[in-house]
Chain A
Amino acid sequence: MSKVVEGLLYSEDHEWVSIEGDIATVGITDYAQDELGEVVYVELPQENSDFESGEEVSEIESVKADSAVYCPVSGTVIETNSELEAKPELINQDCYKAWIFRMRLSSQPEDLLDAKAYSEFLKTLK
């Protein structure tokens, strides 16, 4: 059973988003890390680059597969979690702490799910 944390927002591409003011922090969900398996490399996005919601922003590589991270919101990358460069396995150990990047929002987030809706969505994937 995948862990879903209350108070975060979720995309159907299995990213989680935490929003404070106009800053969004983004990572991947427990379902995503479990599907991916042991993460061995995270390609972080360029700081100061702009992304629209739905664009490919980063790449996560595991022992067995690669997976694109789709930007769940629109805005400018202001910070990346450089700790993941040396320790990509943090994503497996605690995906809700191992954030990947932070963005300054250029518009209000759309089409994100709350914890309850995301849990329901996960059930449809079984």
Chain B
Amino acid sequence: MIETELRTTPIYDCYKDEPGVKLIDFGGWYLPVNFSSGIIAEHLEVRSNVGMFDVSHMGECMVTGPGARAFLDWMITNDVASLRPGHVVYGMMCYERGTVVDDLLVYCIDDSRFFVVLNASNADKDLAYLLDHKPEGVAIEDLCDATSQIALQGPNAEQVLKGVWPGCTELGFFDFSVNASIFGCRALVSRTGYTGEDGFEIYLKSSDGPKVWKALLEKGVMPCGLGARDTLRMEAKLPLYGHELSDQITPLEANLGVFVKLDKSFIGRDALLKQKEEGIPRSLRGFEMVEGGVARYLYSVYLNDEQIGYVTSGCKSPSLDKFVGYALIRRDTGLKFGDLIDIEIHGKLRKAKLVKTPFCKHSAGKSEA
């Protein structure tokens, strides 16, 4: 019954009846939170070997035209103006007030063609925002339904993929190719991911998704769900829209200033420049629980009985076997690494310690030539 109301990916039929798979409603999509191995085993497999995720729910669009580059440079906080063909850049799309519409990836295919990857839950909003600002001569094609995406992640991802498509070894971190052939299917493959590990994101024609998924399964790659994807990205300090980023949070507050080029023009720049000059009011800080318990989204954070912020994400880190998380807290508190805060968990204050992030060292980016 639930399946008729929720959207499913082109790969859904491959796993819907698998024993042990747990499916959940994720922003209107019916997606696996874990497979039979369970979240912790899937997480550890990606950290130590390789796993794959059906992330076909992610949104994609193609922005084309002679003005496409200048348009995207205006829409996004990071530098699209000098992005070379075959490279990917990560950045935020902001409102005039400096808060975030979405975080996204921009792929430069050539001077007049850019492939843009959006968060599933924001895809409709993002496309409307892009269309609203689009100048004459730029076209935006919605590819959300036309695309399957499989993320192959882990230190052994290259080992698996090079047997299928040797060209993958040529890709440095944040490089991509539009001419990959994966089990006979034409694919766009980038050396990117959301786990902190080395790996690839494979974009396919939607109908090719199941074939590639099944072939990777036959190669022994463990299927992993959204649960492991979430704990992996938390350990690696990768933000999740709706948590570390939102229309109430600026990229500077989320400590993503490195992806914000204030020396160029983009929507939201003036507000962000002003925020930087006047003082950024809040800061995203990593913490480790001194006392046990999972500190989850929106739990209150206190210092000396005064509320100073809230938790954006938290989990028990499977790699560290510790309870960790992020909190958006007032900067005027002057808190330093090692300082203690209190987090209210189920009505009780529990101690946590501010620590450096990311929580784990990992293999992403190590392949860069």
Residues of A in contact with B (beta carbons under 8 Å apart): 37-38, 40-41, 43, 59, 61, 63-64, 66, 85
The list of the 7 closest CB pairs from A to B, nearest first, reads: A40-B316, A63-B39, A61-B294, A59-B346, A41-B292, A64-B227, A38-B40
Decide if B293 touches A41 in the complex (CB within 8 Å): yes
Distance A66 CA – B34 CA, assembled complex (angstroms): 17
Option from A37, A61, A63 in Cβ contact (under 8 Å) with B293: A61
Q: How far is the CB of A83 from chain B (nearest CB, A)?
A: 14
Decide if B316 touches A41 in the complex (CB within 8 Å): yes
Q: How far is the CB of A13 from chain B (nearest CB, A)?
A: 17
Q: Which residues of A contact B39 (CB under 8 A)?
A: 37-38, 63-64
Q: How far is the CB of A1 from chain B (nearest CB, A)?
A: 11
Query: Given contacts A37-B22, A37-B38, A38-B39, are A66 and B294 in contact (CB under 8 A)?
Result: yes
Residues of B in contact with A (beta carbons under 8 Å apart): 22, 33-34, 38-40, 227, 231, 292-294, 296, 315-316, 318, 323, 346
10 contacts between A and B (CB under 8 A): A37-B34, A37-B38, A37-B227, A41-B323, A43-B346, A59-B346, A61-B293, A63-B39, A63-B40, A66-B294
Q: Is the interface of A mostly helix, strand, loop or mixed?
A: strand
Distance A37 CA – B231 CA, assembled complex (angstroms): 14
Q: How far is the CB of B290 from chain A (nearest CB, A)?
A: 14
Beyond A59-B346, A66-B346, 8 additional pairs, beta carbon < 8 A: A37-B33, A37-B38, A37-B227, A40-B294, A41-B316, A41-B323, A63-B227, A66-B294
Q: Which residues of A contact B318 (CB under 8 A)?
A: 63
Option from A41, A59, A61, A63 in Cβ contact (under 8 Å) with B231: A63
Distance A43 CA – B294 CA, assembled complex (angstroms): 11
Decide if B293 touches A43 in the complex (CB within 8 Å): yes
Q: How far is the CB of B318 from chain A (nearest CB, A)?
A: 8
Q: Which residues of A contact B316 (CB under 8 A)?
A: 40-41, 61, 63
Distance A100 CA – B132 CA, assembled complex (angstroms): 57
For residue B350, which residue of chain A has the nearest CB? Answer: A43
For residue B294, which residue of chain A has the nearest CB? Answer: A61
Q: Which residues of B contact A40 (CB under 8 A)?
A: 294, 316, 323
For residue A56, which residue of chain B has the nearest CB? Answer: B346
Distance A19 CA – B96 CA, assembled complex (angstroms): 64
Distance A100 CA – B318 CA, assembled complex (angstroms): 23
Q: How far is the CB of B112 from chain A (nearest CB, A)?
A: 44
Distance A41 CA – B346 CA, assembled complex (angstroms): 13
Distance A66 CA – B314 CA, assembled complex (angstroms): 12
Distance A41 CA – B39 CA, assembled complex (angstroms): 15
Distance A45 CA – B337 CA, assembled complex (angstroms): 32
Distance A47 CA – B244 CA, assembled complex (angstroms): 38
Q: Which residues of B contact A38 (CB under 8 A)?
A: 38-40
Q: Which residues of A contact B346 (CB under 8 A)?
A: 43, 59, 66
For residue A58, which residue of chain B has the nearest CB? Answer: B346
Q: Which residues of A contact B34 (CB under 8 A)?
A: 37
Q: Which residues of B contact A41 (CB under 8 A)?
A: 292-294, 316, 323
Q: How far is the CB of B321 from chain A (nearest CB, A)?
A: 9
Query: Given contacts A37-B39, A38-B38, A41-B316, are A66 and B231 in contact (CB under 8 A)?
Result: no
Q: Which residues of B contact A59 (CB under 8 A)?
A: 346
For residue A68, which residue of chain B has the nearest CB? Answer: B346
For residue A61, which residue of chain B has the nearest CB? Answer: B294
Distance A95 CA – B358 CA, assembled complex (angstroms): 35
Q: How far is the CB of B311 from chain A (nearest CB, A)?
A: 13
Q: Which residues of A contact B293 (CB under 8 A)?
A: 41, 43, 61
Q: Which residues of B contact A43 (CB under 8 A)?
A: 292-293, 346
Q: How far is the CB of A86 from chain B (nearest CB, A)?
A: 10
